[in-house]
Amino acid sequence: MDWKSRRVEAILEQALLEDKVTEDATTALTIDPSLRAAATILAKQECIVSGLGAIPRILEIFARLDGNRSGRFEVISHPEIFDGVRVRKGKQLAVIRSNARVILACERVMLNLMQRMSGIATLTREYADAIAGTKATVIDTRKTVPGLRILDKYAVTCGGGENHRLDLSDGVLIKNNHISLGGGVATVLKRAHARRLPGQVIDIEVRSFAELDEALANGAESLLLDNMTPAEVKRAVDIVRGRGLTIPIEASGGIELATIRDYALAGPDFISVGALTHSAVAVDLSMRIAAEL
């Protein structure tokens, strides 16, 4: 199991422990322990699906937490239903066959995760569709729910976006506070060049054309244009490309669905949108459970 899979396992286990799924007081009092059931997850609105793969992993983790007393389970989905696909309202996403007590205990964790992840994927698809036909790619940020970042960022890819840094160790990005505390654009860039590890690309945020000129003069290898208007982004792109530089250019800062195409047409390679993960609305999913007699 690689480190990403281990991190996902830890997230899912913590979610189940948080809900005390092996101590479901209501289910223990009302449901026959030998009863088996079939649960159908339904989309109650049109959406982009994300998180299907979490279902069997949640059931596997539950079985381990419960001492493998819950018996077998089966998760079935149609071949046309997978993470990243658009589904219409009323579409059946998956059927779970297992012990009824297990399904009831895990229901909320399954739905909560899939609703959030599908919400992120659905919003990302709106942004990606808005810039279709341009050279720009929509990317996410680190503005994620603490502890859920790897799931949030996976959901972005399901919606057609790409991931920026996963964490602080994942690349060098000099932002405005680094510049302010480090003595200015030229100073922090010189320091970064002198101290960086092999293979590290130095990306720097600039907020004005004076900072842009200073960054280019001191070896910036990637640029983040922060809180510029589309016209200012175009001017900055023209300056960089006019000097024969092919370094990546990202536009960022308050970019919304209504304005993202204007930014894309200004010519950046990437447009980062924090709203993909910090403002996505969970989609409406439901689970219908019936006894298997």
Q: Which of 140, 152, 205, 214 is catalytic?
A: 205
What lies within 8 Å, CB to CB, of 140 at 6+ separation is 124, 152, 153, 156, 161, 162, 163, 164, 272, 273, 274, 276, 277
CA distances from 136 to 153, 203, 237 (A): 18, 18, 12
E strand or H helix at 54: helix 54-65
Per DSSP, which regions of the chain are E strands? 36-43, 47-48, 74-76, 86-87, 92-99, 137-139, 172-174, 202-206, 222-226, 249-252, 270-272, 285-291
Catalytic residue status for 205: yes
Per annotation, catalytic residue among 57, 86, 175, 207: 175
108 is annotated as an active-site residue: yes
Is residue 143 part of the annotated active site? The answer reads yes
CA dist 102 and 33 (Å) reads: 9
Q: How many Å apart are CA 169 and CA 30, to the nearest integer?
A: 49
226 carries an active-site annotation: yes
Among 7, 86, 143, 165, which one carries the catalytic annotation? 143
User: Which one of 4, 6, 20, 108 is the catalytic residue?
Assistant: 108
**Residue 255 corresponds to which tokens in the numbers above?**
């970019």
Would you please indicate which residues are annotated as catalytic (active-site) residues? Answer: 108, 143, 175, 205, 226
